[in-house]
């Protein structure tokens, strides 16, 4: 294997271990917090997070992706670009921190949470802290040093258990979540800086900034569109309904996303880095993409369908009996998340790795227009109607990305479905078994037994296909795929 072969294989291993362990910790924390805090507290934090993440889009300006994706002339060019990105990010982050700190109270009223200005000011401290570590993070990902990122993620994943949860026991309000978020970002920045061999130098180049921004500008616009897609519903739900429903709404989505991220967060950064190295090699580029998509489908499809079919049990275990009113939304969100991840989310990695972030932005803008219409039409009717409309609105994003990928890269949706038909077939058969088992009883013990039976049925069906048997062996390391990479970084 070449140097890059080993790096990507190792990166995939450490990235997978990191996400699996951290996502095993996260549900434990969420299970505790959901029983200590009422939905209104989560609703307020959702609006605070919306404000902070909006500022972070501008402070990063797309430089993270530039550092990972760009082909630099030499080490000096890489170093200068990194320093320019670092100082630019830091300057804008301090600017946004000052603006938010000064106008926190009007901002709180604007987002529908008057009186939460102090919480917004406290959370805004994370903006310069995140900017300080974001470029360090990009460098680690570029060189596939996921072993270091594993250590960082373990520390930051454990912090809620020693900071947020104890504070929630004591304070019983949203300050536990805000302080926990701040502690996590501080720890992240300190560890990344200490472990990094690269340290910022007082080097700057306006010429280099212009060169970087010509690429990063579109990446930044893309991030703005993604932010709008992810947070506009928070604003609308908070304004039209109330903090209670916003807490139910956002916590359901966050809970599902944290489970899906066990797979996606482990594979997406590595996929982007690998595709970026293959951006001029169409054959290996396509093989790499389809391999990742197929293997992720094997894991994600039954996960999404399982959470949907056993949504009441899942909600009761993860959030508590008092959250059962969101069980249907949690299940629908899980099912549509699985489809969106496989048939839409990874398409964005094609656009970015090919240096075409405009296409991702186009997809997000078209989806945003559709989403606004859905939210404004469904939210006034009621919470349950809103949840159904919001979940199924994601299918439009799949359609848009399918069209863009076919028009610009010649990858038809028929080819994509053919690539994933085996896990689809196995998932549908597993679903039939699950429904039959549920017709017998809905007791807690029987539901657990049913889930185990469904898992056995699903993987038994997969084993009937020789090609999938090989896939199952390769999933932990993606070794066979990555052995095709022949060039050094």
Residue 384 clears pLDDT 70, i.e. is over it: yes
Report DSSP state, residue 465: S
What is the predicted pLDDT for the residue at 432?
A: 96
- CB 29 within 8 Å of CB 164: yes
- CB 378 within 8 Å of CB 385: yes
Q: How many CB atoms lie within 10 A of CB 54?
A: 16
Q: What is the CA radius of gyration of the chain?
A: 22
22 pLDDT tier (thresholds 50, 70, 90)? low
Q: Is residue 210, in this structure, part of any structural domain at all? A: yes
- CB 247 within 8 Å of CB 43: yes
Q: Is residue 399, in this structure, part of any structural domain at all? A: yes
What is the predicted pLDDT for the residue at 434?
A: 95
Higher pLDDT, 29 or 107: 107
Residues spanned by the domain of 431: 3-482
Q: Is residue 166, in this structure, part of any structural domain at all? A: yes
Residue 319's Cβ-side half-sphere holds a number of Cα atoms within 13 Å equal to: 26
- CB 274 within 8 Å of CB 8: yes
The closest alpha carbon to 44, from 243, 177, 219, 178, belongs to 243
In the chain, the number of structural domains is 1
What is the predicted pLDDT for the residue at 403?
A: 94
CA 123/CA 181 separation, integer angstroms: 8
Residue 19 clears pLDDT 70, i.e. is over it: no
Rounded mean pLDDT, 470-478: 56
CA dihedral (360, 365, 367, 369) in degrees, to 10, reads 180
Distances (CA, A) of 460 to 22, 251, 421: 29, 34, 16
427 pLDDT tier (thresholds 50, 70, 90)? very high
Q: Is residue 488, in this structure, part of any structural domain at all? A: no
The closest alpha carbon to 277, from 361, 355, 198, belongs to 355
Residue 485 clears pLDDT 50, i.e. is over it: no
Q: Is residue 176, in this structure, part of any structural domain at all? A: yes
pLDDT for 207-231, tens place per residue? Answer: 777 777 776 776 777 777 778 877 8
Work out the end-to-end distance of the chain between its first and last CA atoms, rounded to an integer number of angstroms: 14
CA 285/CA 277 separation, integer angstroms: 9
Q: How many CB atoms lie within 10 A of CB 470?
A: 11
Residue 79 clears pLDDT 90, i.e. is over it: no
- What phi and psi values does residue 4 have, to the nearest 5 degrees? -70, -35
Residue 164 clears pLDDT 80, i.e. is over it: yes
Task: Share the mean pLDDT of the chain.
Answer: 81
Token couple for 265: 């967060």
Residue 7 clears pLDDT 60, i.e. is over it: no
Q: Is residue 181, in this structure, part of any structural domain at all? A: yes
Burial class (CB in 10 A: 0-12, 13-18, 19+), 438: middle
The closest alpha carbon to 72, from 212, 193, 166, belongs to 212
- CB 60 within 8 Å of CB 127: no
Q: Is residue 489, in this structure, part of any structural domain at all? A: no
Rounded mean pLDDT, 80-108: 87
Q: How many CB atoms lie within 10 A of CB 292?
A: 21
Q: Is residue 191, in this structure, part of any structural domain at all? A: yes
Highest mean pLDDT among 109-118, 155-164, 235-244, 300-309: 300-309
pLDDT over 70, % of the chain:
85
Residue 372 clears pLDDT 70, i.e. is over it: yes
Rounded mean pLDDT, 284-313: 89
| pTM across the whole model | 0.74
pLDDT for 174-201, tens place per residue? Answer: 899 899 888 888 888 888 877 777 777 8
What is the predicted pLDDT for the residue at 477?
A: 43
């Amino acid at each position: 294997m070449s140097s890059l072969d080993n790096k990507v294989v190792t990166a995939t291993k450490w990235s997978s271990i990191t996400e699996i362990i951290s996502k095993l910790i996260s549900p434990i924390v969420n299970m505790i917090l959901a029983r200590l805090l009422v939905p209104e507290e989560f609703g307020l934090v959702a609006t605070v997070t919306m404000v902070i993440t909006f500022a972070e889009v501008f402070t990063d300006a797309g430089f993270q992706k530039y550092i990972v994706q760009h082909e630099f002339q030499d080490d000096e060019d890489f170093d200068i670009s990194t320093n320019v990105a670092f100082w630019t990010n830091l300057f804008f982050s301090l600017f946004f921190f000052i603006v938010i700190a000064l106008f926190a109270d009007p901002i709180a009223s604007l987002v529908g949470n008057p009186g939460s200005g102090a919480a917004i000011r406290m959370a805004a401290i994370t903006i310069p802290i995140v900017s300080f570590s974001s470029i360090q993070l990009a460098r680690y990902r570029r060189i596939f040093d996921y072993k270091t990122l594993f250590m960082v993620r373990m520390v930051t994943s454990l912090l809620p258990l020693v900071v947020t949860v104890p504070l929630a026991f004591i304070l019983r309000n949203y300050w536990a979540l805000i302080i926990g978020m701040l502690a996590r970002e501080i720890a992240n920045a300190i560890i990344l800086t200490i472990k990094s061999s690269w340290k910022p130098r007082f080097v700057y180049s306006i010429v280099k900034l212009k060169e970087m921004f010509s690429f990063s500008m579109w990446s930044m616009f893309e991030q703005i569109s993604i932010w709008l897609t992810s947070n506009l519903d928070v604003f609308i739900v908070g304004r039209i309904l109330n903090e209670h429903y916003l807490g139910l709404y956002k916590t359901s989505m966050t809970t599902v996303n944290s489970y899906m991220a066990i797979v996606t967060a482990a594979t997406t950064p590595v996929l982007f880095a690998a595709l970026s190295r293959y951006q001029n090699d169409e054959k290996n580029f396509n093989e790499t993409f389809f391999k990742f998509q197929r293997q992720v489908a094997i894991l994600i499809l039954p996960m999404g369908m399982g959470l949907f079919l056993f949504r009441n049990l899942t909600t009761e275990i993860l959030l508590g009996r008092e959250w059962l009113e969101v069980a249907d939304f949690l299940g629908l969100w899980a099912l549509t998340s699985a489809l969106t991840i496989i048939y839409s989310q990874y398409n964005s990695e094609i656009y970015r790795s090919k240096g075409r972030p405009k296409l991702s932005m186009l997809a997000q803008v078209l989806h945003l227009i559709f989403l606004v219409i859905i939210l404004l039409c469904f939210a006034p009717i009621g919470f349950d109607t809103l949840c159904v409309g919001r979940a199924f609105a994601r299918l439009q994003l799949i359609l848009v990305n399918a069209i863009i990928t076919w028009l610009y890269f010649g990858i038809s949706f028929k080819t994509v479905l053919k690539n994933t038909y085996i896990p689809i077939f196995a998932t549908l058969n597993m679903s039939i078994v699950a429904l039959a088992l549920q017709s017998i009883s809905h007791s807690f013990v029987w539901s657990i037994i049913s889930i185990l039976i469904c898992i056995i049925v699903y993987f038994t069906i997969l084993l009937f296909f020789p090609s999938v048997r090989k896939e199952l062996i390769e999933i932990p390391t993606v070794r066979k795929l990555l052995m095709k990479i022949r060039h050094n970084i």
